[in-house]
Amino acid sequence: MTAQGGITEGVIDGRESAQGADGAQVISNHEQMADIVQVDVLKTQPDGDNLHITLGLKNTSATQLRLINLTQTGALLAIDADGYANPLLPGLQNPDEITVPANAGVRQVFIFAGPMDSGVSVRLWGQDYPVH
CA dihedral sign of residues 22, 6, 57, 46: positive
Does pTM top 0.85 for this prediction? no
Query: Residue 106: what pLDDT?
Result: 98
List domains and CATH numbers for the chain: 3-130 (2.60.40)
Over residues 42-66, the mean pLDDT reads 95
User: What are the tens digits of pLDDT across the range 66-100?
Assistant: 999 999 999 999 999 889 999 999 988 999 999 99
Nearest to 131 by CA among 51, 42, 37: 42
Q: Kindly tell me if the per-residue pLDDT of 28 is higher than 80.
A: yes
Run of H or E including 47 = strand 37-47
